[in-house]
Structure 1
Amino acid sequence: MATTLRTRRLVLATVVAASALLLTGCAPIGNTPTGNFPGFPEGTEPSGDVTGEPHAAWVSEGDKIAITLFGSSTCPYIASTINVVKKADEGNAVSIEVPPLPDQPCTMDLVPHTTEFWTPQDVTTTKPLQITVLDQTIELPIKSYNPGQDTSH
């Protein structure tokens, strides 16, 4: 009987440890981009005139934040990291770092280029999010729920 109880405890401990590892592996971790591409995220093209100012959008049902920056098509601005500046209960703000452009000739066009990040766990989609990027602060409104609309890229 003692051997059976000991075996059950060992099996239970193994299952709990394996479950914890699996859950940790599924959690979005890190502050580096999940992807980048020319243009705007699908379904988030701004209406009206595009001024070249940074744009932000919730994508993948709020699981990700897309930052669209304008610049040369041959030397696009590509964001490199996202950092929480103020947690959700302290102001809900992030900063986006963008490395300097390479020292090379670039075309003189002005086109959008988007970088996507996992939404940091310390911010919320239920409050406006302040985003500082390229010395500008933009406000990403509360994530609205649009059933049937897929804004994932």
Structure 2
Amino acid sequence: MATSVRLRRAGLAAAALASVFLLAACAPPKSAAENFPGEPVAEHAEEGSHDEGEANVEGEPQAAWVGQGGQLAVTLWGSSTCPQVGETIRVVEKAGEGNRVAIDLVQRDENEVCTMDFVPHTTVFWTPMDVTTTEELTVEVADAEVVVPVK
């Protein structure tokens, strides 16, 4: 009888440990999910960083919810050969405390030769678990702040 109790306890402990690993695996990664030249396709970027009817000013950073709010697209403008690319996303203030994230950019070699064109480049991140789509989200990126409206 004692052996079956030990086996049952060991099984419960193993199940609990497996649950911890599975839940940890569900956390979205902090690194970019995707990046590409250009702006997000209209059907993917659902809520933008500017008001309806307001023209986007070329060159201003943009941010928009993607995929029902499961992802956040950040578009920056610069050289096509040396684009500003988001590397990681960090929660600065959690939901209910400000709902703010910061995007860290890939560091470039200052001696790198870049073209003088001015084009958009988009990086898509998984939305961090500590922020919400039910509050305005402030995105700090490239010395600017972009406010993404409530989804």
Q: 5+ unaligned residues in a row in structure 2: which ranges?
A: none
Instruction: Map 1:35-74; keep pairs closer than 5 Å.
Output: 35-42=34-41, 43=43, 44=45, 48-74=55-81
Match among 109, 116, 124 for residue 116 of structure 1: 124
Shift of 1:74: 1.0
TM-score normalized by the length of structure 1: 0.81
Partner of 1:33: 32
Stretches (4+) displaced over 4 A: 45-50
Matched, 1:95 2:102: yes
Instruction: Check 1:66–1:2 CA distance in 2 against 1; reply closer, same or farther (3 A cut).
Output: same
TM-score normalized by the length of structure 2: 0.81
Instruction: Check 1:49–1:117 CA distance in 2 against 1; reply closer, same or farther (3 A cut).
Output: closer
Instruction: Check 1:100–1:12 CA distance in 2 against 1; reply closer, same or farther (3 A cut).
Output: closer
How many Å separate the matches in 1 of 2:81 and 2:134?
37
Contact 2:27 2:129 in 1 (8 A): no
Shift of 1:60: 2.5
Instruction: Check 1:41–1:49 CA distance in 2 against 1; reply closer, same or farther (3 A cut).
Output: closer
Shift of 1:20: 1.9
Per-residue CA distance 1:22-77 (angstroms, 9 max, x = gap): 22122214x32222111122323978455111110111221221101011111111
Matched residue of 2:96: which SS? helix
Partner of 1:148: none
Per-residue CA distance 1:69-112 (angstroms, 9 max, x = gap): 01111111112222222211111111222245442332222211
Matched residue of 1:89: which SS? coil
What fraction of aligned residue pairs are identical, expressed as a percent?
51
Q: 5+ unaligned residues in a row in structure 1: which ranges?
A: 144-153
Shift of 1:115: 0.9
Letter in 2 for 1:25: A
Partner of 1:135: 143
Partner of 1:20: 20
Matched residue of 2:16: which SS? helix
Letter in 1 for 2:113: P
Matched residue of 2:35: which SS? strand
Letter in 2 for 1:2: A
Worse-matched range after superposition: 123-132 or 91-100: 91-100
How many Å separate the matches in 2 of 1:114 and 1:83?
17
Alignment RMSD: 2.1
Letter in 2 for 1:41: P
- The structure with more strand, counted as a fraction of residues: 2
How many Å separate the matches in 2 of 1:121 and 1:27?
7
